[in-house]
Each structure stands twice: as C-alpha cells, then as structure tokens.
C-alpha cells in the first residue's frame, strides 16, 4: 500500500490550532515541518535516508484486535 506524503508549508502550519501545532517539529536538515505522529516521516527526517528495512507502515490502537 503506497502512502501519500503531504508537505505542510509555513502558511498552512500557521493556520493550525495550537493543539495541532504541538505535533510538528521543523527538520534541522531541510526545514520541512514534520508530523511526529507519522513514524515513517520522523525516521526519514533524522538522516534523509529511506529505510525499506524498517516495517512501520501501519498502526493499531491498543486494546483493539484484528479480526
């Protein structure tokens, strides 16, 4: 399953509410705003290297089971 990446520009970031802004940080390498809730984005922005060996493409709420 391919994941679409949406980049957040400064104007869009400024329009977010404070409760939403707290989930973002500015990448020290490229200056892009990174959503800390997206593990694949966070890992990429650590050193700007794609990590196909790390399986991090999904999430599941604790207490929920797949049926």
pLDDT value of position 16: 92
Task: Answer yes or no: is pLDDT of 2 > 90.
Answer: no
Domain spans of the chain, in order of start: 1-55
25 alpha carbon, distance to own chain's centre: 10
Q: Which helix (H) or strand (E) holds 20?
A: helix 18-21
3-state secondary structure of 26: strand
3-state secondary structure of 41: helix
Q: What is the pLDDT of residues 18-34, one digit of tens each?
A: 999 999 999 998 888 99
Task: Answer yes or no: is pLDDT of 40 > 60.
Answer: yes
Q: Which helix (H) or strand (E) holds 25?
A: strand 24-26
Percent of the chain at pLDDT exceeding 70: 66
Tell me which of 5 and 22 has the higher pLDDT.
Answer: 22
């Amino acid at each position: 399953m391919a994941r679409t990446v949406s980049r957040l520009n400064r104007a869009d970031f400024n329009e977010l509410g404070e409760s939403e802004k707290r989930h973002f940080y500015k990448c020290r390498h490229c200056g892009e705003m990174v959503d800390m809730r997206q593990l694949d984005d966070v890992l990429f922005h650590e050193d700007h290297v794609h990590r196909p060996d790390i399986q991090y493409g999904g999430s599941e709420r604790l207490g929920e089971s797949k049926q």
